Homo-oligomer: A and B are copies of this chain.
Amino acid sequence: MGNGFASTPKPPYYAVIFTNQRSDGDHGYGATADRMVELAAQQPGYLGVESVRDASGLGITVSYWESEAAIQAWRRNAEHTLARERGRTDWYEHFELRVAKVERAYGGP
């Protein structure tokens, strides 16, 4: 198993699939994104994250959580709420967020 993979337990657990297109320029995005990764990892029920962005600015970040309640609590975190507001105004041309219950999983090869 390499870097970039989340070590998740046996299902069921939850995934937040965040697909996003960054707008041009940093505008404080990088520092806040790093901080959110650090802060998320400290939340109760956090299981891990997988995140990829290509050169065009298209990104997919999937964070994994023990429960819907853990996702809701992270959503109410004040610093995260401010970051989401900046995301809407300054950082993302478009995003889609989906909350999903992981029912089965396997790895390989």
Contacts and interface: CB of A to CB of B under 8 A. Distances in A.
Nearest to A91: B109
Q: Classify chain A: how many residues form its interface, as a range.
A: 35 or more
Contacts of A102: 17, 98-100
A93 B58 CA distance: 23
A103 interface: yes
B5 A94 contact: yes
A71 to B, nearest CB: 10
A101 B108 CA distance: 22
A28 interface: no
A70 interface: no
24 contacts: A2-B93, A4-B21, A4-B58, A5-B96, A6-B96, A8-B96, A8-B98, A15-B15, A15-B98, A17-B100, A52-B52, A52-B60, A54-B54, A92-B108, A94-B109, A95-B109, A96-B106, A97-B105, A97-B108, A98-B102, A98-B104, A98-B105, A100-B101, A100-B102
